[in-house]
């Protein structure tokens, strides 16, 4: 039996569909009345751990999960060692730089030197500004990053933008995209090496059914 | 007008009661249908920012909020500079060390050297083990820390324990308490210095009504 780390939240439903197409059914993890954090697939071939999006790379890296699904945004921010297996295509959103609509900033280089930028993704934000050679102070917030510019704490934010509704509601506009993030299948490197084909078959099965969907 | 950072979640209701006793009514922040993140008090003397528990010290430290309420657990983990004003007494819970019930560990020094300890509070956990002179590897999880020992990733966890129900449900027991955490009133140091008595009056009012409750 192998173990899969599934992300709670926005990516869960599509993650479960992905494994279902590969013959592993964890639909009971979608039952909101079920407080359990571990689920066996109906076929008993695999077990799922239901964890926070940000914890998926931890369980996969330490080998408590052989496979996992996680957003590229989280994967990029994490510095843990995992095998990057497949781009699953779903959960698409941009990592963007946004400012107040009524500010005079229309591109990143318009931002004043040493201004503050609020983000949940501090490593991502820091490396973006380092590449642009713009010195800024990154302020780490864990939620409602849009409050940064509203309260005057930060001139800009680096955050995930899916529909743009939250930005609009808070009087912010996007002035740059850092990258496009989608859900990724990752694996524990040692599990992949020691695999007796169970992982390989699952990955191949996900790959073939996934490309069928895209066509 | 001055600004107060209120913590979303478990401490919100008592935080609002605290300021209400001091004459500042932010009850509309309890309306779950209200998506707003900023609220004026009915008397228009103050404004509240509704933010994640962990972000309260950030807003207070950077001066976007003059006062804030936050759990001591979060305050201790944060390294930002804020004035520690009052222990409000509510939201009490222990920061505890817990292990699997069927393990042989009954005190911290029983833990094997270089074992893994999972926690959301990595600085707190690290300094605790350093003081005990026990070398451990701290694994940072952001949610459901109890999965650490269940999956075999970690021998122990350092986490907040209120009723002990979650530990019990997951077959874990507490073997040490690091400290007792309660809600604290904090302030921006510069705001306190520049205060024209509005902050001072509010703090004194909270202090007097708070000690009445405790009697």
- How far is A26 from chain B, CA to nearest CA, in Å? 18
pLDDT at A42: 87
pLDDT at A214: 54
pLDDT tens readout for residues B142-152: 999 999 999 99
Output the CA angle B94-B99-B102, nearest 5 degrees.
Answer: 135
Residue in chain B lying closest to A151 (CA): B64
pLDDT tens readout for residues B105-117: 999 999 999 999 9
pLDDT at B163 over 50: yes
pLDDT tens readout for residues A129-183: 999 999 999 999 999 999 999 999 999 999 999 999 999 999 999 999 999 999 9
- Residues A167/A99, Cβ–Cβ less than 8 Å: no
pLDDT tens readout for residues A49-93: 999 999 999 999 999 999 999 999 999 999 899 999 999 999 999
Residue A141 contacts B, CB cutoff 8 Å: yes
Record: contact A51-B147, CB cut-off 8 A: yes
Between strands A183-187 and A67-71, the pairing is antiparallel
Torsion of CA A82, A17, A36, A50, to 10 degrees: 20
Residue B144 contacts A, CB cutoff 8 Å: yes
What is the band of B215 on the pLDDT scale with cuts at 50, 70, 90?
A: very low
Record: contact A49-B147, CB cut-off 8 A: yes
Strands annotated E in B11-82: 38-40, 46-51, 67-71
Record: contact B139-A55, CB cut-off 8 A: no
What is the band of B210 on the pLDDT scale with cuts at 50, 70, 90?
A: confident
- Segment A1-11 shows an average pLDDT of 95
Question: What's the burial of A59, exposed, middle or buried (CB within 10 Å: 0-12/13-18/19+)?
Answer: buried
Chain B residues near residue A3 by CB distance under 8 angstroms: 151
Output the DSSP codes for A139-172: EE-SS-TTHHHHHTS-SEEEEEESSSHHHHHTTE
Q: Which residues of A72-88 are buried (b: 16+ CB within 10 A; e: fewer)?
A: bbbbbbbeeebbebbeb
CATH, range B93-180: 3.40.190.10
- Segment B34-58 shows an average pLDDT of 92
Q: What's the whole-number average pLDDT of chain B?
A: 94
CATH, range A93-179: 3.40.190.10
pLDDT at A215: 47
pLDDT at B136 over 80: yes
**Total CB pairs under 8 A between chain A and B:** 82
CATH, range B2-91+182-214: 3.40.190.10
Residue in chain A lying closest to B79 (CA): A140
pLDDT at B213: 59
Residue A122 contacts B, CB cutoff 8 Å: no
**Pick from B49, B65, B144: which is nearest to A51 by CB?**
B144
- Segment A35-53 shows an average pLDDT of 91
Rounded Cα distance, B36 and B50, in Å? 8
H-helix or E-strand containing B178?
strand B172-181
The two tokens of residue B143 are 């949610």
The two tokens of residue A98 are 């946004």
Residue A165 contacts B, CB cutoff 8 Å: no
Question: What's the burial of A183, exposed, middle or buried (CB within 10 Å: 0-12/13-18/19+)?
Answer: buried
pLDDT at B126 over 50: yes
Shared fold status for A2-91+182-214 and A93-179: yes
Chain B residues near residue A1 by CB distance under 8 angstroms: none
User: Best interface-test mutation with A: which of B1, B49, B62 has the largest number of A CBs within 10 A?
Assistant: B62
- How far is B211 from chain A, CA to nearest CA, in Å? 33
Q: Which of the two residues, A160 and B42, has the higher pLDDT score?
A: A160
Chain B residues near residue A37 by CB distance under 8 angstroms: 144, 146-147, 150
Residue B81 contacts A, CB cutoff 8 Å: no
Rounded Cα distance, A54 and A185, in Å? 14
**For chain B, domain boundaries:** 2-91+182-214, 93-180
Rounded Cα distance, A20 and A209, in Å? 10
Diameter over CA atoms, chain B: 59
What is the band of B212 on the pLDDT scale with cuts at 50, 70, 90?
A: low
- Segment A202-211 shows an average pLDDT of 90
> How many Cβ atoms are within 10 Å of A162's Cβ, its own excluded?
12
Rounded Cα distance, B51 and B56, in Å? 6
Residue in chain B lying closest to A61 (CA): B153
């Amino acid at each position: 039996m192998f173990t899969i780390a599934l992300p709670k939240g926005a990516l869960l439903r599509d993650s479960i569909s992905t494994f279902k197409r590969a013959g592993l059914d964890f639909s009971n993890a979608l039952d909101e009345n079920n407080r359990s954090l571990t689920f066996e697939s109906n076929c008993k071939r695999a077990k799922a751990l239901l964890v926070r999006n940000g914890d998926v790379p931890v369980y996969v890296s330490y080998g408590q999960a052989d496979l996992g699904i996680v957003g590229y945004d989280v994967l990029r921010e994490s510095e843990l060692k995992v095998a990057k297996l497949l781009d699953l295509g779903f959960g698409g959103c941009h990592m963007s730089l946004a400012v107040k609509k009524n500010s005079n900033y229309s591109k990143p280089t318009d931002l004043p030197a040493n201004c503050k930028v609020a983000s949940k993704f501090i490593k991502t934000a820091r490396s973006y500004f380092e590449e642009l050679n713009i010195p800024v102070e990154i302020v780490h917030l864990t939620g409602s990053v849009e409050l940064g510019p509203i309260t005057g704490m930060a001139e800009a934010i680096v955050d995930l933008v899916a529909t743009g509704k939250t930005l609009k509601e808070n009087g912010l506009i996007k002035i740059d995209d850092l990258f496009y993030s989608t859900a990724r299948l990752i694996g524990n490197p040692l599990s992949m090496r020691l695999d007796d084909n169970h992982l390989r078959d699952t990955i191949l099965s996900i790959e073939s059914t996934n490309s069928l969907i895209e066509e």
